[in-house]
């Protein structure tokens, strides 16, 4: 009964927290090649901040559930986002003193370091904020690769750099292309049905 209540709460919160991410990915052109637009950049930035806040809330909730489920401290959990590495943790304490419960082992994934419980939540819960965000960003980055390839000067798109973006007239105000190498095979990650042995413990 307790697990059922937690599961229902998790699914309800997932649906709620997915909405700001959907608003961001459905209504924002986050990388464009039509000349710098300060007004558009501000709109993109506002939508992005709301999306990331929702992602952070969802991840903190997972970490808290993880701690309950596994009766242990959870730290070392990270996500790689355009504005840097976001860290999440939950340490058991009694009267403000952290207990000596062991931390769970971490798994290195394309989008950050998580333990197995959080990994399963990210790949198994459909339409969650993390899944929605990274799949959408992969599509945006794929578009950048196409634009670079089609540029009349024929630049190499193997590695997207700020210099290449500037030469091709592509504006990336959120630094989404920072995630280029992380998201190369992101569809395989989210379509996973079990532990990927290629992602070792850290």
Neighbours of 167 (CB within 10 A): 13
Given this model, what pLDDT does residue 1 score? 42
For the chain, the straight-line distance linking the first and the last C-alpha, in angstroms and rounded, comes to 34
Q: Average pLDDT of 16-45?
A: 93
Q: Average pLDDT of 13-20?
A: 97
Q: What is the pLDDT of residues 76-125, one digit of tens each?
A: 899 999 999 999 998 765 544 455 555 668 899 999 999 999 999 999 99
Q: Whole-structure pTM over 0.85, yes or no?
A: yes
CA dist 82 and 51 (Å) reads 12
CA dist 10 and 12 (Å) reads 6
Given this model, what pLDDT does residue 43 score? 94
Percentage of residues of the chain with pLDDT beyond 90: 59
Q: In whole angstroms, how large is the CA radius of gyration of the chain?
A: 19
Domain chopping of the chain, boundaries: 2-91+103-189
């Amino acid at each position: 009964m307790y697990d059922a209540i937690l599961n229902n709460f998790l699914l309800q919160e997932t649906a709620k927290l997915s909405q700001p991410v959907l608003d961001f990915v459905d209504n924002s052109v986050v990388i464009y090649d039509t000349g710098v637009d300060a007004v558009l950049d501000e709109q993109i930035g506002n939508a992005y901040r709301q999306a990331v806040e929702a992602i952070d809330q969802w991840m903190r909730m997972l970490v808290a559930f993880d701690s309950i489920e596994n009766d242990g401290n959870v730290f070392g959990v990270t996500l790689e986002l355009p504005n840097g590495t976001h860290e999440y943790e939950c340490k058991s304490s009694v009267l403000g003193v952290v207990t000596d419960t062991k931390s769970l082992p971490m798994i290195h994934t394309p989008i950050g370091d998580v333990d197995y419980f959080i990994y399963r939540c990210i790949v198994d819960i459909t339409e969650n904020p993390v899944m929605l965000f990274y799949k959408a960003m992969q599509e945006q980055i794929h578009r950048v690769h196409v634009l670079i390839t089609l540029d009349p000067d024929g630049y190499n798109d193997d590695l997207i750099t700020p210099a290449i973006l500037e030469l091709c007239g592509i504006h990336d105000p959120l630094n989404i292309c920072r995630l280029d190498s992380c998201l190369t095979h992101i569809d395989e990650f989210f379509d996973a049905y079990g532990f990927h042995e290629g992602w070792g413990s850290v």
